[in-house]
Amino acid sequence: MATLGELALTHTAMDGEQLAHVQRLALSWRLLADLSFSDLLLLAPVAGEEGHRFVALAQVRPTTGQTLYPVDMVGTVVDEVSRPLVTRSWRAGQMVEGDGTVLAGKERARIQCIPVRHRGEMVALVTREMATTMSRRPGELERVYVEVYERFAHMIAEGSFPFGQDEIEPESSPRVGDGVIILDGEARIVFASPNAVSLLHHLGIHAYTPGLSLAEIGFAEGAVGRAMRAGLPVLEEIERADTSILMRAIPQVERKRTTGVVVLMRDVTDLRRRDRLLMSKDATIREIHHRVKNNLQTIAALLRLQGRRLESKEAKQAIRESERRIRSIAVVHETLSRDAAEVVDFGEIVRPLVREVEDSVSSPDARVRFVVEGDPGELPGEVATPLAVVLNELMQNAVDHAFPIGADGVEAAREGGEVIVRLRRLDGELRIEVVDNGVGLPEAFSLEESKGLGLSIVQALVTGELGGAITMTDDDGARVQLRLPVATTPRVEL
């Protein structure tokens, strides 16, 4: 289905500011559908047809009543024959009401057409559509809600609704069905829905009386005051004892004067309790990763101390390699300790791994340059840990074997040495290349027959734990390629 913006640009003559205005309306009008117990359609004239045909840019169904449109009407084009009220309202520039039929159907409906103005110019129409017969006589709540809706309808017609700024409502933002308090221009209570009265009781307020201000019944009116002064909606959360109430104050304006405020209320106590539990859980997970990282660093330090006491060159080398592998795992836990998410930005792990290997092989006389290309994106923690070990082994292996010490014992062979690490996501795979410009692979080299511990670890982790594939080729230096299946959505590559 095409978006509102796409439909408007394709079928209408709206400019950028006009389009932004109707888009704000489509983001804000659920309140009106619920207050009017009706379906709302946003119609705009087809460009160049002088109001003979209109396209439906958006629609909203009420959550307080039954819809007339179980099927989406967005994108439907109507003409003046099927919707004469719409054409009449557009040409007269006034609100028009009468009977008609629903779009693409024969059911009768009561239709109200409301001009949508932006800076004095009519750019679209809103139609309120409801069944012509009601199953019961409307009570006080329905009567008050419809009166409030009518005031918003006049705001649409004069161009003061939607408000002149983009509104971003949180998912937990209160709705009409959660609880409504209607205030007059003096911020006195005109009406409170039964659900709103119950919420006041939860806050310990039992003195609800029409005609009193919120302050007089012991209710904080900071949001209401700010909404009346600014002429803009204000969202505020009130906490009292163990109860949390989310309140949204929406001013009603007539000729730039605030004539009332609609206060929507929702009990978010359970949501906040879950938020606190999640925050506690996240803090615990981060602390666990932090302690694991500290323990791994302690083990690495103990190995380093043990290696200093050894005489055997081979034993010292084995200790150093074990210490390096442990540190690569510690890097993953250090990253996870900063964020309790189940995924980790592997790019944040690659960089410290590269620095560590680069520092370990550099000397004042000779250096090996490391280059990292691409963005690996986010990976699950259980993938990042073995992959960090694999990448560490491959970089260390490239340094140890691609740039050997010369026959004279000087590391001149490392001059101009370069190791490139390429990472990218493609077709559900993470593809990694470690390429060097060194001496290349030994003659008749076979990965399967290699007896080196480092490559054995790499092969076991890649093909076993990670379920991937590894190849090594000689191409003006050694080239190692890894292909690993990943299910996590990748980040956009730069």
User: How does DSSP assign 298-348, residue by residue?
Assistant: HHHHHHHHHHHT---HHHHHHHHHHHHHHHHHHHHHHHHHH--SSEEETHH
Residue 73 lies in a domain: yes
What does the pLDDT read at residue 491?
Answer: 41
Name the least confident of 42-46, 273-277, 349-353. Answer: 273-277
* Higher-scoring residue by pLDDT: 169, 433: 433
Residues 146 and 187 in one domain: no
| Confidence label for 385 from pLDDT (cuts 50, 70 and 90) | confident
Residues 194 and 120 in one domain: no
Residues 251 and 310 in one domain: no
Residues 38 and 60 in one domain: yes
Cα dihedral 163, 165, 168, 174 in deg (nearest 10): -20
Residue 368 lies in a domain: yes
Domain boundary residue among 320, 341, 362?
Answer: 341
Question: How many domains, in total, are found in the chain?
Answer: 4
Please determine, for residue 96, whether its predicted confidence score (pLDDT) is greater than 90: yes
Show the domain range for 283.
270-341
What does the pLDDT read at residue 209?
Answer: 74
Instruction: Report residue 103: phi and psi, to 5°.
Output: -65, 135
Please determine, for residue 297, whether its predicted confidence score (pLDDT) is greater than 50: yes
C-alpha angle 189-141-32 in degrees, rounded to nearest 5: 90
Name the least confident of 35-44, 90-99, 267-276. Answer: 267-276
Residues contacting residue 431 through CB under 8 Å, at least 6 positions apart: 422, 423, 424, 425, 481, 482, 483, 484
Q: Evaluate whether 108 touches 35 at the Cβ level (below 8 Å).
A: no
Residues 354 and 432 in one domain: yes
* Higher-scoring residue by pLDDT: 187, 414: 187
Domain boundary residue among 219, 246, 267?
Answer: 267
Residues 12 and 148 in one domain: yes
- How far apart are alpha carbons 118 and 16 in whole angstroms? 11
Residues 257 and 348 in one domain: no
Please determine, for residue 197, whether its predicted confidence score (pLDDT) is greater than 60: yes
SS3 412: helix
| Confidence label for 129 from pLDDT (cuts 50, 70 and 90) | very high
* Higher-scoring residue by pLDDT: 324, 267: 267
Residues 254 and 285 in one domain: no
Residues 216 and 357 in one domain: no
Residue 171 lies in a domain: no
| Confidence label for 285 from pLDDT (cuts 50, 70 and 90) | low
Please determine, for residue 82, whether its predicted confidence score (pLDDT) is greater than 80: yes
Mean pLDDT of 6-14: 93
Please determine, for residue 447, whether its predicted confidence score (pLDDT) is greater than 60: yes
What does the pLDDT read at residue 444?
Answer: 73
Mean pLDDT of 243-271: 90
What does the pLDDT read at residue 34?
Answer: 96
Please determine, for residue 300, whether its predicted confidence score (pLDDT) is greater than 90: no
Residues 276 and 325 in one domain: yes
| Confidence label for 409 from pLDDT (cuts 50, 70 and 90) | very low
Mean pLDDT of 8-31: 92
Nearest alpha-carbon partner for 62 in 92, 89, 40: 40
Residues 228 and 191 in one domain: yes
Pair of tokens at residue 130: 């409801």
Residue 421 lies in a domain: yes
| Confidence label for 8 from pLDDT (cuts 50, 70 and 90) | very high
| Confidence label for 343 from pLDDT (cuts 50, 70 and 90) | confident
Looking at the whole model, is its pTM more than 0.85? no
Please determine, for residue 488, whether its predicted confidence score (pLDDT) is greater than 70: no
| Confidence label for 388 from pLDDT (cuts 50, 70 and 90) | confident
280 burial via Cβ count (<10 Å: 0-12, 13-18, 19+): exposed
| Confidence label for 25 from pLDDT (cuts 50, 70 and 90) | very high
Residues 118 and 186 in one domain: no
